[in-house]
Amino acid sequence: MGQLALQRVSPLASLPRRLPSLLPPSSAHQFLPFATASRRPRRHGFYLVRAMSSHIVGYPRIGPKRELKFALESFWDGKTGVDDLQTVAANLRNSIWKHMADAGIKYIPSNTFSYYDQMLDTTTMLGAVPSRYGWESGEIGFDVYFSMARGNDSVPAMEMTKWFDTNYHYIVPELGPDVEFSYASHKAVDEFKEAKALGIDTVPVLIGPITYLLLSKPAKGVDKSFCMLSLIDKILPIYKEVFDDLKSAGARWIQFDEPILVMDLDTNQLQAFSDAYSRMESSLAGLNVLIATYFADVPAEAYKALTSLKCVTGFGFDLVRGLETVDLIKAGFPRGKLLFAGVVDGRNIWANDLSASLKTLQSLEDIVGKDKVVVSTSCSLLHTAVDLVNETRLDKELKSWLAFAAQKVVEVNALAKSLSGVKDEALFCANSMGQASRRSSPRVTNAAVQQDVAAVKKSDHRRSTEVSARLQAQQKKLNLPALPTTTIGSFPQTADLRRIRREFKAKKISDIDYVQAIKVEFEKVVKLQEELGIDVLVHGEAERNDMVEFFGEQLSGFAFTSNGWVQSYGSRCVKPPIIYGDVTRPKAMTVFWSSMAQKMTRHPMKGMLTGPVTILNWSFARNDQPRHETCFQIALAIKDEVEDLEKAGITVIQIDEAALREGLPLRRSEQEFYLDWAVHAFRITNCDVHDTTQIHTHMCYSNFNDIIHSIINMDADVITIENSRSDEKLLSVFHEGVKYGAGIGPGVYDIHSPRIPSAEEIAERINKMLAVLDSKVLWVNPDCGLKTRKYDEVKSALSNMVAAAKLIRSELVKS
């Protein structure tokens, strides 16, 4: 299989240069045709009126129409080859670089593209491949790379977890004292050369060594207390080889992403950071160095350590989520250095308030010096949608409030122009009108909803009975066996199923035909579960496009895009709804479908809902009121749905809170407040149900051990939680003496890998769970929903899961 090293390929005709469509009409005068210009030419036949200091931290890699997703999945399915995949990838990179260059961006990033994940790319660059993948030396190819990301028939994938407090997932490096590092991927250098061949001078971006090490975990067999920073001496020589290659290729800048600096690092970790960059100083000679931080304020001690580095030319800060960093800058900024001011939000889709941002930039320029401020994004634009130009169905008013990645590039350039004294009055005027429209629009505010939320804050909304008593009442009604089996909710979303939903949405089929088609799919899923011997069933969610969008489409205050896709991991993309106003539930959302499914079986059928915190965290939330206010509005809407499901005879209701941990603030001082309102919001949804109604919740792909007490405080009857891909990390908290009296189902196999575990392997996992959990509370289930898998994989894996549960049940009876 092919190497990750880039090949020279011709761009596909299906992805042309897109300059005219990416810029608003008011921006067109920034460019002069090559034939009529009189100034020094830029690279692509255009001349800029004036050079500005602007920078983009990173850019979405999936493509405006998810081109990378489809290319990856076609490659994985064996329908296309390496050349096809690399052609699509090269075309996407070229389009991105040209867009930024043509928009006037001065500091354009490279090596922010990835076939799967930037942390995995760094692991590959360092040759830190776990031995189970069979790699020994040479340039790492796609076979090893994708095996680490997805697993294969023989070995499981590496762990995947959330990237800080975002919905993006990274592949966690597995390190230890015996890891032998080597320069095993030249991707960073190859991408720089590729851009240079197009006439574009880029800033190669690397994950900084301290962030890389502190986000790693001990490899299997390595003591959990192993200090990752002890490996710094081993990885710095590899970084130095990369620097030498970049300098030889003509690089003048390099960007290190060190978001770990916004965390609460201790003195030893900060010293390791300072020492690492001091030791790299000589090898960085000849390069301008930018260190980018993002996602939060930089603590005072980290700011001091960072700005004391002599080898650094510029410092990048998130000034959207890190407003307190401005106070640190005011208190002292190193003379002669560049401030990369992240004033354009990289994590949301709201248009920047250009006038307000310009005032901020001007005040910063007064502090750090004229021409020392570089206008930038708050973080990589990876976390926002790609291009608003593709949204033809959004109404004009709402669209005037928004900016996707392509438009944020234009915003950065417009602010840089204005800061340099060349203000685009027409653009600023249009922006100001959009800001005013949003503030005054009657569709944003609902006084009744705000009154309801104010009343909600006066109670903590706990169920009146302890969980132990509720579980007894539920068992009398449900009569479940020991180690009950269930799945998380979704079943495979086939091409036919997606086609049916598309045709219904396009009004090509009638309501009656659509309901009948979904009913047939329900019957298939129910029959399969009954044949497999699953105890608590799900209907498979055939009627749902996405676990958040499905609900948002039925709630007021939400809007939806056609192509607002954001990468979650690998080829998996999500299309977050936009919460623009106060939220209400006009009518029941799931009762019809859940009732239909329950009538198909005598087994308990779960009513499936997405919880308020997850809907909030997986949406582009409004930024004009506190997040908890919006969350409580959603909670009240979900509460109405829970009670309607109960009235319809649904006795098991799952309220997923997969994103609870994701929203946890990065700084410890802010975490208690978030957990208080997030847990409260969940309790609101089910506080008034009967004791005999069993409330489940589900969480996945985050580190939950540090918030286990808040999870207990949610007071759910049963929690299912990802466990297997993270090597049973969750179980360690129970080894440490935490008592959990409610039902709990740590996942027994990883659903994000095509690998099918054996019954014996699953049985071994269940026995590990029984070593720390009572069999009376233990459930058996996969890590997560089955939406992304194929039916043959699902049948085999669930069959083995049920067989393992039955085996352990029989052993429990004997004992």
Catalytic positions? 752
Specify burial of residue 638 (Cβ count, 10 A radius: 0-12, 13-18, 19+): buried
The DSSP bridge partners found for residue 708 are: none
Contact indicator for 629, 583 with CB cutoff of 8 Å: no
The encoded tokens of residue 31 equal 């460019």
Q: How far apart are CA 644 and CA 253, in angstroms?
A: 59
Among candidates 117, 95, 84, which has minimal Cα distance to 2? Answer: 84
Q: CA-to-CA distance for 675 and 657, rounded, in angstroms?
A: 13
Token pair, residue 727, equals 């090597």
d(CA 130, CA 153): 16
Q: How many helices (H) and strands (E) does the chain have?
A: 28, 22
Token pair recorded at residue 585: 């539930």
- Hey, is 247 helix, strand or coil? helix
- What is the chain's Cα-based Rg? 27
Number of residues that make up the chain:
815
Within 8 A by CB and 6+ apart from 273, the residues are: 210, 258, 261, 265, 302, 305, 306
Name the residue type at position 97: W
By three-state DSSP, how is residue 147 classified? helix
- Rounded to the nearest 10 degrees, how much is the dihedral formed by the CA atoms of 720, 721, 722, 724? -70
What is the four-CA torsion angle of 112, 41, 405, 111, rounded to 10 degrees? 0
What string of H, E and C letters represents the secondary structure of 155-189? CCCCCEEECCCCCCEEECCEECCCCCCCCCCCHHH
| DSSP H or E stretch at residue 779 | none
Q: Residue 288: which H helix or E strand, with range?
A: strand 288-292
Task: Using alpha carbons, select from 315, 93, 101 the residue that is nearest to residue 208.
Answer: 315
**Angle 511-532/791-814 helices, nearest 10 degrees?**
40
List, in order, residues 6 or more apart from 235 with CB less than 8 Å away. 126, 181, 209, 212, 213
What amino acid occupies position 13? A
